[in-house]
Amino acid sequence: MAGLFTWKFLQYRRRAAFQVMGYCLATAKGAAETLKLNMALILLPVCRNILTWLRSTRAKLVLPFDDNINFHKVNCTQTEYIVHLPGIFLMMLFQLQIIAYAIGVGILLHAVNHLACDFPRLINSSPEKFALIASDFDNVKPTFKSLLTGIEGVTGIAMVILMAIVFTLATSSFRRNVLKLPPPFSRLTGFNAFWYSHHLLAVVYVLLLVHGTFVFLVHQWWQKTVRA
């Protein structure tokens, strides 16, 4: 992940947009690149077709594919049963936990650098500097409002809100009713809240695709996957 971040960071370090938005842009784009990978990796433990294929390979001799659901659960929220896991499972578990934490860090870096750093620098850039990337914005300098209300801004904000809801309701305190909330907020705890909120992730992945399709500074569709 560090290598992926560095690759994208250096790529934007050499672009004209860097002269306008600086390291804020490079950091946001580097974080976004790691999110693309981690958002895919976090799904692997619950991808049945892939796991079925892996069970037919020699990998089944060393990897506990039949524990995939527990793998995903512990990766996201549970740590209380770690001491009872086999060595190879334990090693993979911590790797997946790192992925889960990396998603959180990636979201934070990407959102904060956009909202608090490179957007303000873009909006307040001089005419000379903005001219370097004016063609990327149809030769019209955007406002903070236009950046937030555009497709990129709306989908980005929506993803952050939905993921915050999902991650919060997936914690042990909410899922097991450990945290006692007064009515009507008590309905936000328990397994049902966890189960139904997890379905919001389907919306998150759709928003992720839309967000990436309308990404700033890149216009060719084939450049919006691993190069955007």
- Residue 215's pLDDT band (cuts 50, 70, 90): confident
- Residue 137's pLDDT band (cuts 50, 70, 90): very high
Enter the tokens of residue 130.
């903005």
Distance CA 60, CA 53 (A): 10
| b/e map 85-109, b = 16+ CB within 10 Å | beeebeebbeebbebbebbeebbeb
The answer to whether 110 and 24 are in contact (CB under 8 A) is no
The structural domains of the chain, with segments of one domain joined by +, span: 1-126, 150-228
The answer to whether 14 and 44 are in contact (CB under 8 A) is no
> pTM for the whole thing?
0.76
Distance CA 125, CA 87 (A): 54
Closest-CA residue to 164 (of 139, 137, 188, 135): 188
